Amino acid sequence: MKKVKIALLGLGNVGCGVWKILNSNKEEIQKRSGYEIEVAKILVRETKKDRGVIVPEEILTTDFNEILNDKDIKIVIEVMGGIEPAREYMLKAMDKKKHIVTANKMLLATGGDEIFEKADSMGVMFHYEASVAGGIPIINGINESLTANKVEQLYGIVNGTTNYILSKMETEGLSFKAALDEATEKGYAEADPISDIEGFDAQYKLAILSSLAFGTKIDVENVYREGITNIKSIDMDYAKEFKMVIKLLAIVKDVNGKLELRVHPTMIPKNHPLANVYDSFNAIFIKGNAVGDLMFYGRGAGDLPTGSAVVSDLISILRSNIDLENINPVVKNNLWDKKIRDIRSVESKYYIRTTVEDKPGVLGEITTILGDCGISLRSVIQRGVESPQHDKVTLVLVTHYTKEAKVIEAIDEIYELKTVKKIDNIIRIEDFKN
Ligand code: NAP
Ligand code: HSE
């Protein structure tokens, strides 16, 4: 059996998952890859930390040069996260002809070009299956199995933490904070969970998926983003009443050759397959012009699911002949230039929850503004008196399909009404018919 030395950068949630899989599935991995794998070094910040796994102390290091300068280390697995020093270390490792596996969506989405170009120019392999949707083989799915298609639309639940939070709030009535604490405890959340709950993580992942699915470079700034911090249990109750659920969706649509890219909380019909994706599960629903509707489903976060994608990338590299020069130029994602649609051009249905004064004429004022802006209402719900002073009520408006620009214009005017105390929330409704 051939032998190969590899190194890990990071031994946190994902690194420990990788370590566990390499040990527990040793025989399968050897047979499938044709190699006996030795983890020669693991880079960490703190060598004495209890990580819940038994790792020989002598392979832990805080000095990246021990990995860089070891000629026998052929493959580097980057699972430390963040931009620097992960970027610098990967570039330096590729300069030394080391192949790379990474789970770092933030780095790929914000500075991926430089990394892909380096891999290409050095003729090393660069794999990143774990960067999107944890254990789901979506990168390979798009890059290998869907290349005969023109992708028309892609809808993803691509962040495990937010899906866990929304699931726990909806099904168990947990508070946002308690659910986030659980997601962190289970190893789903990023080191800074703002990235999850404010939608940045999903924004990075949508940029990566879209660039692969549409063969074009995507600037992450062109992906419209909202997080889930404004979602309250009352919104979930209304969604339930409409036979819907609220999910943080990452959406890309090709609308007449222009790409519409957005991440935001979305009400979707309960009977759609994505509505039944709960807990830390992720799913990606794709419409291809040949294959039709397709859904990938699985665990989107956590040590073992993510470790599964990382180790599979490692095996892919080993199955190619790692000692050959220029073996695997990376898949090109700059085949076409695509224009981006501004969020104001998006057409959707909208749920608008407001708090208004409980007096005659208020509804009329609001519906007049909506009518003047060309927005047609599907339903209006006013729920009884909600304050002890009998002075304010919740008014929920649901629109028919309308342009976002019209909604923005109407909301600006509604804000000005003295009788409107607050626009509490606006959530887009996706019925998958547009
Ligand atoms: P984590 O638990 O915070 O672990 C990070 C590891 O990297 C730690 O072992 C840390 O060392 C080490 N590290 C960080 N900065 C370092 C530095 N400057 N020098 C040396 N070591 C350093 O993170 P994680 O959850 O495993 O995530 C790792 C990567 O995988 C991130 O890019 C993340 O976005 C991605 N990812 C995570 C998941 C998931 O479910 N968690 C899923 C898919 C992708 P110490 O332990 O000594 O502090
Ligand atoms: N924090 C990420 C999530 C990890 O919750 O989905 C997986 O990329």
Give, as one character, the DSSP assignment of residue 223: S
Closest residue by CA, ligand 1 atom 36: 103
pLDDT under 50: residue ranges of the chain: none
- Ligand 2 atom at shortest distance from the alpha carbon of 306: 7
pLDDT at 383: 78
Closest residue by CA, ligand 1 atom 38: 301
Residue 301 CB less than 6 A away from ligand 2 = yes
Q: Distances in Å between the alpha carbon of 380 and those of 192, 301, 331, 351, 415?
A: 39, 39, 50, 10, 18
pLDDT at 385: 65
Residue 190 CB less than 6 A away from ligand 2 = yes
Give CA–CA dist 385/279, Å, rounded.
35
Is 217 in the active site? no
Residue 188 CB less than 6 A away from ligand 2 = yes
Question: Mean pLDDT, the chain, as a whole number?
Answer: 95
pLDDT at 360: 87
Give CA–CA dist 299/350, Å, rounded.
30
What's the order of all strands across the beta sheet hosting 99-102? 60-61, 35-43, 2-9, 73-78, 99-102, 126-127
> Structural domains in the chain?
2-134+303-320 (3.40.50.720), 138-299 (3.30.360.10), 344-429 (3.30.70.260)
What amino acid is encoded at 366 in this protein?
Answer: I
Task: At 5, list the tokens.
Answer: 């030395």
Summarised one tens digit per residue, pLDDT across range 269-281 is 999 999 999 999 9
**Can you give the pTM of this predicted structure?**
0.96
